[in-house]
C-alpha cells in the first residue's frame, strides 16, 4: 500500500466504556417518549436537552430500548449492562424495573 492509500485507511476509534447509570438514565427517557410522554416533559424531568432527546429517539431507539447495536464495538461496550429487557413493548412493569435499576446504580455511584 502506498503512502496515499495508507492515509485513506479508516481507523476505527475506540468506543469508550458505557457508563451504566448514564445509559439507563437515557434509556428511561427514551422509553417514556416511546410510550407517548411529551418530549418537553421528559426533557425537563431528566435534564436532557429536548433536541438531544429527539435525536436519541430518532437515531438510537433500538440501542436504548433493546440494547441492540449495529456496530460490534458499541455492542461490546454494552456487554456490562446486559441483560436489558426490551422496552419497545408497551409494558409498565419494564419501566418500573428500569427506574429501580437506575436508582440502584445512582446510589452505588454516590457511595
Residue 39 confidence (pLDDT): 96
Residue 6 confidence (pLDDT): 53
DSSP 8-state secondary structure symbol assigned to residue 17: P
* CA terminus-to-terminus distance, the chain: 53
Residue, of 99 and 6, whose pLDDT is higher: 99
**Rounded CA separation 63/99 (Å):** 18
- Is the CB of residue 45 less than 8 Å from the CB of residue 26? no
CA angle 9/11/17 to nearest 5° reads 170
pTM of the model as a whole? 0.60
Q: Which residue has the cell 475506540?
A: 14
Domain residues of the chain, as ranges?
A: 3-110
In Å, how far are 35, 67, 94 from 82, measured between CA atoms? 22, 8, 14
Q: What is the mean pLDDT of residues 31-39?
A: 92
Amino acid at each position: 500500500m502506498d503512502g496515499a492509500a495508507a492515509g485513506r485507511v479508516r481507523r476505527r476509534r475506540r468506543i469508550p466504556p458505557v457508563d451504566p447509570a448514564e445509559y439507563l438514565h437515557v434509556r428511561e427517557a427514551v422509553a417514556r417518549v416511546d410510550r407517548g410522554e411529551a418530549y418537553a416533559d421528559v426533557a425537563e424531568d431528566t435534564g436532557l436537552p429536548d433536541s438531544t432527546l429527539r435525536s436519541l429517539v430518532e437515531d438510537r431507539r433500538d440501542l436504548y430500548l433493546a440494547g441492540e447495536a449495529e456496530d460490534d464495538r458499541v455492542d461490546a461496550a454494552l456487554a456490562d449492562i446486559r441483560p436489558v429487557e426490551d422496552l419497545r413493548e408497551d409494558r409498565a412493569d419494564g419501566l418500573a424495573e428500569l427506574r429501580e435499576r437506575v436508582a440502584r446504580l445512582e446510589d452505588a455511584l454516590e457511595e
